[in-house]
Amino acid sequence: MTIFQKILDGEIPAHVVYEDERVLAFRDIHPAAPVHVLIIPRKPLIDVRAAEEEDALLLGHMILVSREVARREGVLESGYRLVINNGTDAGQEVFHLHLHVMGGARLGGLAG
Ligand code: DGP
């Protein structure tokens, strides 16, 4: 079981920013920007590669939820970045799909 599943199950705490019946959004424990929130599906998909066509609405919902997360975190107007890491070369550490929402400062280039 992943650490994010434990957060979904309420076994470990998280600073929840937004939730609905399909997703949970909480602050990243190691923020890479002044605002850094992770949006995860309640459905335990490993990453985008594991998604099926039937998950298209869920993936779209995650992206649209980022607007409400950004609004609540105060960066809707200033802008924010969305990132999904998929697998080893992307540096994925937690194998439960998550959408990074980062903002609150001028962010650097994409190369890590
Ligand atoms: P990624 O490299 O895309 O797999 O990013 C995983 C992120 O998850 C990383 O930025 C740190 C964050 N993270 C890991 N463990 C925890 C945790 O227990 N709580 C919270 N809130 N975030 C976590």
Whole-number Å distance, alpha carbon 28 to ligand 1 midpoint, is 6
Contact (Cβ atoms closer than 8 angstroms) between residue 15 and residue 27: yes
Active site annotation includes 15: no
Domain 3-103 in this protein, CATH class: alpha beta
Q: What is the pTM of this model?
A: 0.97
Q: Output the pLDDT for position 42.
A: 98
111 pLDDT higher than 70: no
The helix/strand/coil state of 63 is: helix
pLDDT digits (tens, 9 = 90+) for 7-57: 999 999 999 999 999 999 999 999 999 999 999 999 999 999 999 999 999
Whole-number Å distance, alpha carbon 65 to ligand 1 midpoint, is 19
Q: Where are the domains of the chain?
A: 3-103
d(CA 41, CA 5): 10
Q: Output the pLDDT for position 83.
A: 98
Q: Output the pLDDT for position 110.
A: 73
